């Protein structure tokens, strides 16, 4: 049964859990929709009204047919208030605090239903790891918080810890619906309890009625369910927007695979011990099915499925203290996804476009629309696809991916500037088209974005720089170097131009300059593995084997599963006659990427070799 941590080791374990989750979740802001919330919040605070029609787009003046008010106005006011008071650091802290609060409530619920402290920490951590791609300051976070509060309410009634007071649902759903329309998932949960949980103490039907009443207590609330139903039936956002796509096929190899296996075992155990709750199994399966269908629903597994699986597992974890701590540590170490300190916001590109207004429209990468709107640059589209017509999203997608329609659509919308992400990723063909077209000029670049200008540019264009995937390219001559140096004058902190400058310097025989540039780039955590791997390449080419080995090992500290770096490390270790280290590195590279034939051949050659039998390379 649940109790507060009393022994020292329990307190230390919980403190480590809380601090670990906060550090994990307070990484730099990665949500591009956040900037739309801030724009909307500023509008609400300034005008004292909730905008009914303004989309802040250059391409659509009014909301699409099914919406006549912004559905997430509460989130907009909250985030704008925090931003005004504490800036971006305050928003990072708010994100970390809300997600840590969610994790603590999941842990408390696991303890309440009988898990030991060690297993509760480990299981709660795994639940958070499953949803780690949803660690962002978005309105959907309030759906996760609402769901865990709802699950706690239901489980406390089932375990006899709280009286059945259905009217409490009115207040929970009234607040919830003003932050996010995801309160529909809470209604679904209560509905499943009503249908499949008739043997529980929960009076689900009265609770469901109060919840429906609370859900419509919001501006435009009488239309809220029509809004949600019509949005879920819009095929274009479901097809184009990444977060509405199904989960990728390799899910079983990560935390989600173990999460599903442990959940299956827990319900089987409950059935064997005659503690099985059909409602819990059905709810878990429904929310899992939603997560597999829509990536964004992964965020709902931690607050819903994690506590229900803990309830099914029962009073587990009466092992010795050491085993409990080891179990928690194993979960935390295995699922730790790493923390990025790299901000992907196109602040430099937005500043350039503000400083040089264009006569036409700015076409933008989908994710960059929110920060453009916040900076009073009307975007072509932004991430709030619920607010504008599907036809606009279709045209946006066609400009990027349909060469036959591209020119006509850009003429139709009078596109005269483009803010594009960098690395270009799936937009590489579009980037090559722009770079090859005589009417489009590359006028700005940094590590996150590119700006192209149609016609005569306001600043000198880059003549020789080109973009290929994640890299900058161009002819290895002095003209390219001039482009790179000018790019660094505009964006002194940019790392990609320095990487290409280092390559040019090495080919000209300026080894010391190349090393200095790569060491400078390596200080940036986001570029550390790339820069140190290239340092290894340079030292290997110079036959400085030990320095190359140390550089490759340094690269692997931040990118431990990069197969090509592992192969290069094995190759250098072979030169140093460090055969066991070479076998280990090559073997890991093959396990990570079995298709890397060159590594497979090296490993086969190393198979029976010893220091006496391996021939030295000349």
Kindly report, residue by residue over 218-250, the tens digit of the pLDDT.
887 777 777 777 766 677 776 777 777 888 777
Residue 614 has pLDDT above 50, yes or no: no
Q: What is the pLDDT of residue 611?
A: 40
- The edge-to-edge listing of strands for the beta sheet with 361-364 is 361-364, 415-421, 449-454, 440-445
At 55, is the secondary structure helix, strand, or coil? coil
C-alpha–C-alpha distance, residues 307 and 288, integer Å:
14
Arithmetic mean of pLDDT, 470-491: 79
Six token digits for residue 202: 């929960």
Closest by CA position to 31, among listed 128, 127, 102, 99:
99
Residue 15 has pLDDT above 80, yes or no: yes
pLDDT confidence band for 209 (50 / 70 / 90): very high
Q: What is the pLDDT of residue 1?
A: 41
C-alpha–C-alpha distance, residues 429 and 447, integer Å:
19
Residue 260 has pLDDT above 60, yes or no: yes
Q: What is the pLDDT of residue 67?
A: 59
Q: What is the pLDDT of residue 328?
A: 63
Instruction: Report the number of secondary-structure helices (H) and strands (E) in the chain.
Output: 27, 6
Residue 610 has pLDDT above 60, yes or no: no
Residue 23 has pLDDT above 50, yes or no: yes
C-alpha–C-alpha distance, residues 502 and 513, integer Å:
7
C-alpha neighbours within 13 Å on the C-beta side of residue 156:
16
Six token digits for residue 359: 């006569």
- State the angle between helix axes of 140-158 and 183-196 in degrees (0 to 180), rounded to the nearest 10: 30
Arithmetic mean of pLDDT, 499-505: 90
Residue 609 has pLDDT above 90, yes or no: no
Kindly report, residue by residue over 262-284, the tens digit of the pLDDT.
999 999 989 988 888 899 999 99
Closest by CA position to 133, among listed 304, 367, 297:
297
Closest by CA position to 65, among listed 288, 188, 277, 231:
231
C-alpha–C-alpha distance, residues 255 and 232, integer Å:
28
Query: The tokens 């969610």 sit on which residue?
Result: 102
Kindly report, residue by residue over 324-374, the tens digit of the pLDDT.
666 666 655 555 554 444 457 898 999 999 999 999 999 999 889 999 999
Arithmetic mean of pLDDT, 424-445: 87
Domain boundaries, the chain: 112-335, 345-488
Arithmetic mean of pLDDT, 304-333: 72
Task: Supply the mean pLDDT for the chain.
Answer: 84
Whether 524 and 495 have beta carbons less than 8 Å apart is answered as yes
Q: What is the pLDDT of residue 331?
A: 58
Parallel/antiparallel/unpaired status of strands 449-454 and 471-473: unpaired
C-alpha–C-alpha distance, residues 599 and 582, integer Å:
11
Kindly report, residue by residue over 562-602, the tens digit of the pLDDT.
888 998 998 999 889 898 888 888 888 878 877 666 655 65
Whether 300 and 287 have beta carbons less than 8 Å apart is answered as yes
397 membership: H or E segment, kind and range: helix 390-401
269-307 burial code (b ≥16 CB/10 A, e <16): ebeeeeeebebbbebbebbbebbeebbbbbbbbbbbbbb
Q: Which residues pair with 466 in a beta bridge?
A: 473
The pTM of the whole model exceeds 0.95 = no
Q: What is the pLDDT of residue 324?
A: 61
Residue 443 has pLDDT above 80, yes or no: yes
Q: What is the pLDDT of residue 199?
A: 63
Alpha helical stretches, state H, 71-199? 73-112, 117-130, 140-158, 168-177, 183-196
């Amino acid at each position: 049964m649940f109790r507060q941590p009393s022994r020292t080791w329990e307190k230390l374990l919980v403190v480590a859990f809380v601090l670990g989750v906060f550090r994990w979740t307070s990484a730099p802001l990665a949500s591009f929709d956040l900037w739309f919330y801030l724009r909307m919040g500023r509008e609400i605070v300034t005008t004292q009204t909730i905008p009914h029609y303004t989309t802040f787009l250059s391409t659509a003046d009014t909301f699409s047919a099914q919406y006549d008010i912004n559905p997430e106005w509460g989130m907009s006011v909250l985030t704008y208030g925090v931003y005004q008071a504490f800036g971006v650091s305050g928003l990072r802290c708010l994100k970390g605090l809300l997600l840590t609060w969610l994790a603590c409530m999941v842990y408390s619920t696991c303890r309440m239903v009988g898990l030991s402290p060690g297993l509760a920490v480990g299981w709660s951590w795994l639940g958070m790891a499953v949803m780690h791609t949803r660690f962002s300051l978005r309105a959907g976070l309030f759906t996760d918080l609402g769901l865990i509060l709802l699950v706690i309410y239901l489980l406390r009634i089932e375990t006899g810890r709280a009286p059945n007071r259905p009217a409490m649902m009115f207040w929970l759903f009234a607040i919830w619906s003003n932050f996010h329309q995801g309160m529909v998932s809470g209604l679904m949960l209560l509905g499943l309890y009503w249908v499949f949980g008739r043997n529980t103490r929960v009076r689900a039907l009265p609770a469901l009625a109060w919840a429906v009443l609370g859900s419509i207590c919001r501006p435009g609330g009488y239309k809220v369910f029509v809004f949600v139903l019509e949005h879920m039936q819009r095929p274009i956002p479901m097809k184009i927007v990444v977060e509405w796509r199904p989960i990728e096929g390799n899910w079983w190899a990560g935390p989600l695979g173990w999460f599903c296996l442990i959940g299956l075992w827990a319900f089987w155990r409950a059935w064997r011990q005659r503690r099985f709750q059909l409602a819990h199994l059905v709810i878990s399966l429904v929310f899992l099915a939603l997560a597999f269908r829509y990536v964004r629903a992964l965020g709902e597994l931690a607050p819903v499925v994690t506590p229900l699986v803990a309830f099914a597992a029962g009073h587990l974890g009466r092992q010795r203290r050491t085993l409990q701590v080891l179990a928690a540590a194993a979960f935390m170490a295995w699922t730790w996804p790493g923390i990025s300190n790299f901000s992907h916001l196109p602040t430099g590109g937005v500043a350039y476009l503000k400083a040089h207004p264009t006569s036409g429209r700015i076409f933008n990468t989908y994710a960059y629309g929110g920060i453009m709107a916040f900076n009073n640059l009307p975007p072509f589209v932004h991430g709030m696809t619920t607010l504008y017509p599907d036809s606009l999203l279709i045209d946006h997608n066609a400009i990027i991916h349909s060469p036959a329609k591209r020119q006509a659509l850009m003429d139709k919308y009078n596109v005269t500037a483009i803010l594009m992400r960098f690395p270009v990723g799936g937009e590489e063909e579009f980037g090559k088209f722009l770079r090859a077209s005589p009417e489009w000029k590359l006028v700005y670049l940094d590590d996150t974005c590119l700006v192209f200008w149609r016609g005569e540019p306001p600043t000198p264009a880059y003549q020789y720089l080109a973009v290929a995937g994640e890299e900058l390219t161009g002819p290895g001559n002095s003209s390219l170097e001039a482009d790179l140096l000018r790019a660094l004058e505009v964006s002194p902190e940019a790392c990609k131009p320095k990487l290409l400058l280092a390559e040019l310097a090495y080919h000209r025989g300026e080894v010391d300059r190349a090393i200095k540039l790569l060491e400078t780039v390596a200080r940036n955590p986001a570029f550390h593995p790339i820069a140190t791997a290239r340092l290894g390449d340079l030292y290997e080419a110079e036959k400085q084997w030990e320095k190359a080995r140390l550089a490759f090992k340094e690269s692997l500290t931040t990118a431990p599963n990069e197969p090509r770096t592992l192969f290069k490390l094995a190759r250098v270790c072979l030169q140093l006659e460090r055969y066991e280290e070479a076998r280990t590195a090559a073997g890991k590279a093959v396990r990570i990427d079995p298709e890397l034939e060159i590594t497979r051949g090296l490993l086969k050659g190393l198979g029976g070799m010893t220091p006496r039998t391996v021939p030295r390379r000349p």
